[in-house]
């Protein structure tokens, strides 16, 4: 399922973290990794454009890292808006891995490019953490909406390969409705033959998910990409989750 991985590189430390996560994931699925660098068009990127690197050297170092891990690798370089170009490149892969913006930012847990990529990409986007995760104990932020259903189905396939238990997290203020929503997730996972544990939590989704992740020691979270009014990306409260946790978040469109 994750046999072709795309990694967006810009010379930043967070992009290096995405590369390392791709190696971990690539070894599990014997994947081919495509390392890509987009030279930003003038006027896009703002502060995120502060990292500059020679494309050839950047891609060569990344390719050597992947080869040293015993994995197949290809390189890609293009110019334009990083979100648009990565979304286009992602059409031919299973998922795209990117680094998150600095976690010290209280205003935005993920950067402008990543927020836009989540909105326009047709494939899942993995926003990586500050260190590689084995992704062996996975949770899903489930609210019953279409994108979270797709995230649940993606995690079910992932868990069937990795033989891991799925933790379903749903935050609600109405226990009766919450039980119905969680029941839908239980039915889907039962049909897939995947082991699961459900967590019906009070509080905001971000608080609930961060609390369960800490208690269960989950090392990856799957969530649906929700686009609100004026194309504002809420991503199942991923902004709050990314501020509260340091694990990869797999965002399913």
Highest mean pLDDT among 53-67, 68-82, 117-131, 216-230: 68-82
In contact, 100 and 217? CB cutoff 8 Å: no
* 24 within some domain: yes
Counted domains in the chain: 2
pLDDT digits (tens, 9 = 90+) for 178-198: 999 999 999 999 998 999 999
**Which domain does 44 fall in, by range?**
4-128
| Section 95-112 average pLDDT | 69
Higher pLDDT, 233 or 115: 115
pLDDT tens track for 18-49: 999 999 999 999 999 999 999 986 654 444 44
CA distance 252 to 224: 5
| 248 confidence band (pLDDT: 50, 70, 90) | very high
Find the DSSP H helices in the chain: 13-29, 55-68, 82-89, 112-120, 146-162, 175-192, 205-216, 238-244
Pair (192, 238) in one structural domain:
yes
Q: Is 144 inside a domain boundary?
A: yes
**Among 128, 155, 178, where does a domain finish?**
128
pLDDT of residue 80 exceeding 70, the answer is yes
pLDDT score of 159 more than 90: yes
Q: Is residue 133 part of a domain?
A: no
b/e per residue, 217-244, with b = 16+ CB within 10 A?
ebbbbbbbbbeeeeeebbbbbbbbbbbb
Give the pLDDT score at 225.
80
Helix axes 146-162, 175-192, angle to 10 degrees: 40
At residue 232 the predicted structure's pLDDT band, cuts being 50, 70 and 90, is: very low
- Is pLDDT larger for residue 241 or for residue 250? 250
- What does the pLDDT read at residue 48? 46
The phi and psi torsions of 199 (rounded to 5 degrees) equal -130, 110
CA gap 241, 46 in Å, rounded: 24
Backbone angles phi, psi at 34, to 5 degrees: -105, 115
CATH of the domain at 170: 3.40.50.620
How many other C-beta atoms are found inside a 10 Å radius of the C-beta of residue 198?
18
Contact between residue 165 and residue 199 where contact means Cβ atoms under 8 Å apart:
no
Give the per-residue pLDDT at 226: 67
Q: Residue 138: name the closest of 76, 221, 69 by CA.
A: 221
Look at residue 105 in the predicted model and tell me its pLDDT: 41
Pair 161, 65 in one domain: no
Among candidate residues 128, 151, 171, the one where a domain is terminated: 128
Q: What is the pLDDT of residue 101?
A: 67
Tens digit of each residue's pLDDT (9 = 90 or more) over 46-60: 444 444 458 899 999
Strands 138-141, 166-171: parallel, antiparallel or unpaired by DSSP?
parallel
Q: Do 84 and 148 fall within a single domain?
A: no
Residue 155 and residue 200 in one domain: yes
Domain boundary among 99, 128, 157: 128
CA–CA gap between residue 80 and residue 8 (Å, rounded): 13
Residues 132/246, Cβ–Cβ less than 8 Å: no
First to last CA, the chain: 16
């Amino acid at each position: 399922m994750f046999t072709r991985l795309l990694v967006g590189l810009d010379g930043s430390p967070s992009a290096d973290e995405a590369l390392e996560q791709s190696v971990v994931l690539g070894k599990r699925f014997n994947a081919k990794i495509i390392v890509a660098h987009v030279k930003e068009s003038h006027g896009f990127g703002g502060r995120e454009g502060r990292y500059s690197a020679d494309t050839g050297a950047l891609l060569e170092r990344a390719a050597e890292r992947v080869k040293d891990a015993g994995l197949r690798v290809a390189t890609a370089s293009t110019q334009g808006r990083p979100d648009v170009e990565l979304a286009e490149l992602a059409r031919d892969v299973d998922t795209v891995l990117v680094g998150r913006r600095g976690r010290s930012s209280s205003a935005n847990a993920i950067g402008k490019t990543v927020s836009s990529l989540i909105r326009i990409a047709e494939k899942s986007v993995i926003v990586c953490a500050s260190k590689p995760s084995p992704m062996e104990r996975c949770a899903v932020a489930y609210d019953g909406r279409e994108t979270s259903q797709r995230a649940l189905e993606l995690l079910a396939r992932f868990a069937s390969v990795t033989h891991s238990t799925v933790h379903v997290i749903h935050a609600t203020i109405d226990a009766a409705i919450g039980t119905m929503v969680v029941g839908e997730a239980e039915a889907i996972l039962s049909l897939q033959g995947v082991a699961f544990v459900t967590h019906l939590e009070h509080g905001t989704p971000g608080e609930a998910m961060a609390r369960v992740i800490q208690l269960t020691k989950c090392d990856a979270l799957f969530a649906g990409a929700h686009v609100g009014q004026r194309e504002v990306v809420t991503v199942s409260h991923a902004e709050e989750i990314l501020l509260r946790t340091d694990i990869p978040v797999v965002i399913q469109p």
